[in-house]
Every structure is written in C-alpha cells, then in structure tokens.
Amino acid sequence: MSGLIGKKIGMTSIFNDSGKNIPCTVIEAGPCVVTQVRTEEIDGYSALQLGFDDKAEKNAIKAEKGHFKKAGSTVKRKVIEFQGYDKEYKIGDSIGVDHFQEGEYVDVSAISKGKGFQGVVKRHGFAGVGQATHGQHNRLRAPGSIGAASYPARVFKGMKMAGRMGGNKIKVMNLRVLKIVPEKNLILLKGCVPGHKNSYLTIEK
C-alpha cells in the first residue's frame, strides 16, 4: 500500500468537538524523496523507493552517495519501498504529509521497544503458581511444569518460557488520523504506535 516513512515524536492528547480527551501519537511524516522508481519492465513489479531523514555524507559509503546523487537528493538515513500510489511520481519528487487526510485510517509498522530478558509473567501473561504462605519460598512468578517426565521425556518446541522480549516488528492497524499539520510535517494518530521516541516507522494507507 502507498504510504510514507516517519519518525515517532511522542504522545499527547487533544480534545475533539464534543470535548472528549483523546490520546494520540505525534509523528513527523516526511517529506520523503523518491529515490528510485521500480517498473514492471525492468524490475518485474511497480513501486516507489522513498528516502527520509538526512544522513551526514561523511558517514555514507560510496554506493549510497552514487545512488542518491542519481536522484538529485542528499544522502538519506532510511529507505523503504511502497506500492499502490494513485499519482505518477518520478525520481526526485517529494511526497509530504498531505498524502493523508484527516479522518482516514492507516496502518503503522515499527520495531517495538526492547525489554531485555523477562520472565513468563511479563513476557507471556502467566498468572504465577503457588501460594504466598504455607512455607512457599520463591515460586510466585515461576512458570510451573513445562512437560511430562518419562513420556515424552522432552520439552516441546515453542514452550512459553522466560527470554528476550521486545525488539520485534509490529504492525498496528486501523489507526484514525486525527489531525494533520502540513507546515510542520506532523500527523496525529489516535492511540499508540510501537517503538521508542525518534524511532522510524512506516505509515500505510
């Protein structure tokens, strides 16, 4: 689907016409530069490659510099392909936040916050086992049994256990566009989106 690359600024809340307080996420969306145009004849599919957020040229490799020089653009930090645009775009064109309209619904993809090594209660929502009294020592947040003994005499793959949590790509669907501020390239979406502040994300129609 067509969309833009953005950066999560943070969360706030706004009041709607009826006076209800609505939590929302502020995202800096674009302007994104068209750095490459994929076509059916050459690539076998049609898409637009967009670049977002300037990168210091001294930190770019020679291949990156050449790629963005063809597009007549500065070196970009984030490059992602999108499909399904209604308008025709060519290399060097800029797509801004006015690609979206207030009231429509979008999908947001991003890498979730990394939580590190976590137990089963936080990671999988286990209730914990055992009692807090009667001599119980340290089993309140333990996972309990992870399988039988003599048969099958092993732990099945996929067993929910403690481990690294977060840092996964997550898509949140059907978020309503509450407000667009084109002069500051800002878009306000109802609710929360994955990722930490200043993390990159994709917004798709």
For residues 187 and 203, the answer to whether their CB atoms sit within 8 Å is yes
DSSP string, 142-200: -----S-SSSS-SPPTT---SEEE---EEEEEEEEEEEEEGGGTEEEEES--SS-TT-E
For residues 37 and 196, the answer to whether their CB atoms sit within 8 Å is no
Query: Do both 176 and 80 map to the same domain?
Result: yes
Query: Do both 121 and 194 map to the same domain?
Result: no
Query: Do both 92 and 141 map to the same domain?
Result: no
Query: Do both 46 and 83 map to the same domain?
Result: yes
Against a cut of 0.95, is the pTM above it? no
Query: Do both 9 and 102 map to the same domain?
Result: yes
Query: Do both 84 and 182 map to the same domain?
Result: yes
Each residue's pLDDT tens digit, 30-71: 799 999 888 889 989 989 999 998 888 888 899 988 988 888
Each residue's pLDDT tens digit, 146-156: 999 999 999 99
Q: Residue 162 pLDDT more than 90?
A: yes
The enclosing domain of 69 has a CATH number of 2.40.30.10
Query: Do both 21 and 95 map to the same domain?
Result: yes
Query: Do both 93 and 127 map to the same domain?
Result: no
- How many domains in the chain? 2
Domain span including residue 78? 3-114+169-204
